[in-house]
Structures are given as structure tokens and as C-alpha cells.
Structure 1
């Protein structure tokens, strides 16, 4: 008799691998929904539900997920999971693997408080499983209504939620943050006093991306000079794959990266496959300018937290020094560097 596996863990692992592979959202939701529906059931309860046929009648559980649960309870790796694990990506080369191993956290992530797909706790659990030491939660700011951006009141509530969660954790830190919109005039889309309370602020342009070059440059320079900004997010705003490809915003890269170096604002190496921002030619300019960097996933789901490989490979290819990658630093140093 083979000991049963943990079916909830197997369902979560399947969802994670689907997210990492950028598979359809409905597939991911099927497995995460089943895991959530069964999370508080004991193994004996699950076995009884499988044997009686009641499992497939439960809300949130379908034929495929029920089959995975049955296989897991029988002590077998579910077939669906075996197939996904058999098609995982190729290993990083040695230099990239060294930088990947040095990363201690992720400075740009989203939860279902804005436009992410999973709650705070699920994102944190996955980050811990990946070996992170910390995770910065950077949900959107209020004017990005399409992404359900957080008002000042909702952001304060999230800060309290993170404080409570940190009290439960041992050896892991959740950091408060925001991906704040850089408004057309270069101002930031959140109260200055509240930005000062956060552990880390990512500032990004999400609107009027085709603004004339000179105006976009001034817009970005004003934001970079703001003492609350720590990271410049996906600086060109481009989209290179998918249904909505988008060209790069035009700005004076030499001036912008010089300002980042002067003000201690890290340039984000965004790992999302559809962004891969900045382009390599600009990433090399930022290296030459003496900038610091944050290799981030911009994850909107737990499985996307494992997209760091994309950014790491680009960083190594462009000569980014590991010591200048801020999320390779211990959390104490990261927080101490905040202006």
C-alpha cells in the first residue's frame, strides 16, 4: 500500500506550473479553485469523497481535478502533473544560474487586491516555497482603474494585513509597497505621506505611452527625483508578444538612466515574457550609466513568481553586475538604502 500524497499540494503545483508556462487563465483557476475547495479537508474525508463519487459533485471540483486528487490519494504523482514536470524549461547557463541563486526576493508583485489573480497569502506561500527571503507587494495605484488600483484607504488596509501576516511568519518578510503610476506631469498617483510609509515604491508609466520624447523624458525625470521612488518599473512600456503588442515609449535614455544613478533609483529588469523591458540596448546603457537594478517578475499570479529566469538571463547577457542587483541584497540592506 503506497502512502497517499498531498492532493492539495499537487493541485497547487499544477496551477503553479501552468502559470509559469503562461497557460490559459481558466485552466489555472480550475486547479487553484479545486485546491481552495479541498484545503481544509482531511485525507480521510477526501478518500471518502472519492470512493463515494461525491468529490466530482463538489463546487470548484471538476472531472480533471477530481482525477488528480484520486491519483494523489493513491500515492501516485498525478498524470497531469507528471506531464507538466516533464516539459519544464532548460537549465540556465552557469553565470545566469549564479545570479539567480543570489536573488533573495522579488520587488514587484501583484495580488487580487488590484489586478492579480490570487490573494496575498497564496503569493507569500509560493514565494517561500521558491526559496525567497522576502516579497514586496506592489499593487497598483488608484488612477489605474482598469487594474482596480488601491485607494489610500485600501492601501492602508493592506499595510495592516501585511503587518498581521508578518507576525505569523518565521524567517520570511513581506514588504509593503506599491506600483505607483507616473502621471503625465511626472507626479505620483498616491499621497506623499502614505508613500513615505511604504517599504518600497516602484514607479511606472501606464498612460499616454506615446507622449512626445521630450515631454516623456521630463515626466520620467520628475518622478525619478521624487525621494519616495525606489525602482523605475518597465521603463519603455513595450509589449513584444501576445494580442496587444505595443512599441516602446520614446525618451532620452541617457538622461533618464543618469538620473536613476544619481538618485539611487534601481532600473527594473522586468521578467514578464510579453514585456522583457528594458530592451537589451537600453539595459546596456543603464549598466554603463552606473545604475542599480531590480530583477523582478511583475507577477500577477503565484506561478509567475518563478519567471525570474527570464530577467536573469537578460541581465547577464547585458553585463549587469550581481552586486548592483538590489534584490540580491539582504532585506535589511534593501530597506536601509531607501532614500
Structure 2
């Protein structure tokens, strides 16, 4: 077994089971260190007994590398595979099988932890037909949001990657900040070039009820918006603590989504579980479309779709109203229709 692949796979399974970040980083940094050495140097140093001196390798990562070089599945990896054998959620299996892709994920171009190519590789290996790359927009400086210039550079990277596949497409996209006045935090020209635009509120989450409603409806009314991301902004668990949901008129917001052909995101991150159950019910009653997304910031989090599918199934959302069950061509016809 290739030792770099083994280390990356360990990182995937640890991310999937929501292990501490430092544990994941140990294996991903070790994989990067071996990548820098190259396979011949790795074998040479292993033969000389000096592999343990490579910066970035510790006792656990070295054990994985040595067993992989011996042609074995490392014990640690075998244990992780066994623990990860099965879906993350108990329900929603039938709907999960219908999901073709995911319209919300991040790379290390903004606040994700892995390169674009690694996120795309894992999405393809996990059976996606498509995956949208939606790094943050410039106002979110804490997340290294992309300026128009950096976003244009990213489009070239995505195009080059897509040239190498005929069974998977990395969609161009953005998670664009909804500004205080409801406008979108990226130039219209750049938004017009993207396959998918997810619009989300990230600031002033405690804004007045009526002002927040106007803010969200303003973004929904923008012809470039395809998906309303994690609409309440709440956090229900996790290392960042908890955060209450924003106050807005959900009936007005979801009616706007239904009328203006914007999908409501079911954000699958366990710490978000956004929208809450009562708001999912309101969105269903309003006739909204939905997008089940992972908001993945690491490869192992791409399996969080299991959680979103479970919630959608529990609320009886028909598969045909979930845009991420649609084939790629149908999905892109929908995202581009509003732009005219």
C-alpha cells in the first residue's frame, strides 16, 4: 500500500468521525512530508532506518508508513475502516442513495484544511457526480475570503482539474456573504461566471428581526443567488460553543425562496443542523426547493451528507424537490436559468 495514500486515508476517517483537529493534522502533515520526499527517497530512508528523522513523522505516523511499505494495511487504518463501516446516520438511507452531489464545500484557499485537488479526489471516490467548491467571499477576512482576482485564479485551477475526469465535475462556486443591505459580497461579473452561488449571513447575526428579514430577502431576490446557506446561523454543539438562531420572519423568507427559485440549504454539519426542524417544516409548506449540503472543510466531512439526508427524510421532503438529487445537466440548467 502506498504510504502517502495510507496516511491520507487515516486523515479521512478521523475527520469523518470528528476527531480532534491536531490528530488529523498529524497524519496530513506526515503525508505532505512524504510527498515532498518522493517515493524513492521514502524507500531509501526506510531501508537505511532514517525515516523516523523526517520532520513531520512521529511514532504513530511512522508505524503507518512502515506497515504500508511492507505491503500491509496498517493496523491503525484497518481499525478506522472497521469503525467507519456503515453510514453516519441511522435514517435516510434511501434518500442518501439518490444524492448525486453537494453544493457547499471549502478548500485551503479560504478556511478549509485541504487543497482543492484533494477535496475533489475524495468527493469523486465517495461516489459524487459533482461537487461545488464554494470558498468564502472577501469580506470574511477571518476565513481568508477570496477577492475577485483570487477567485478568477481558482476558476483556472478548477478547469484544469476537470480536464482530467469524465465521470465527475468540480463545479465552480462561492459561499458569498450577504451584506447588511442584502447585497452580495462579490462582483456581479465574477458571480456570473460561477456554476453555483450559495448566499449566507456571517455577520451581525443578532440584527433586528425586520432588518434581518429585509437583508435575507434582498439576497434571495438577487438573480445570481441559487442557495440560501445555513439560514439561521445557529450553532448547537462543537468546539466553537453554541449560538442562538438569528431572528427573522421565516414565512416571508421562505416564500421569497419559493417564488424566486432559491433552494433552502439543509446544512449537514452536526454543529449547525440548520435550519431547525420547525423551519424545515415551514419551508416544506412554502413549496421551497432544498439543497442537502455538507459545508465540508475537510475531505472526511464530505460524508456528513448522511446527516442531512436523515433530517430531510424525517420531514418527508420529496426527492424531486432536493436539487442535489438532480443530474448535473439539470442542476446547471437550474442554476443558470435565473441569470438569463
Q: Report the TM-score when normalising by structure 1.
A: 0.94
- Which of 324, 328, 331 is 2:328 aligned to? 331
Q: How does 1:42-121 map onto structure 2 within 5 Å?
A: 45-88=41-84, 91=87, 96-121=92-117
Q: Distance in 1 between matches of 2:65 and 2:137?
A: 39
Rounded Cα–Cα distance in structure 1 between residues aligned with 2:324 and 2:278? 22
Written as runs of structure 1 = structure 2, the 5 A alignment for 1:136-285 is 136-242=132-238, 243-285=240-282
Q: Whole-Å Cα distance in 1 between the matches of residues 48 and 90 of structure 2?
A: 51
Q: 1:317 aligns with which of 305, 314, 324?
A: 314
Equivalents in 1 of 2:50, 2:97: separation in Å?
44
Deviation of 1:217 after TM superposition, in Å, equals 0.7
Q: Distance in 2 between matches of 1:171 and 1:40?
A: 29
Q: Post-superposition shift, 1:64?
A: 1.1
CA contact (8 A) 1:229 1:265 kept: yes
Q: Secondary structure at the match of 1:27?
A: helix
Show structure 1 runs of 5+ residues with no match.
none
RMSD: 1.7
Is 1:33 paired with 2:29? Answer: yes
Paired residue for 1:123, among 107, 119, 125?
119
Residue of structure 1 aligned with 2:13, choices 11, 17, 31: 17
Distance 1:165 1:279, change over 3 A: same
- Matching residue of 1:294: 291
In structure 1, how many angstroms separate the alpha carbons of the residues matched to 2:36 and 2:96?
34
- Aligned equivalents of 2:32, 2:181: Cα separation in 1: 44
CA deviation after TM superposition for structure 1 residue 75, in Å? 2.9
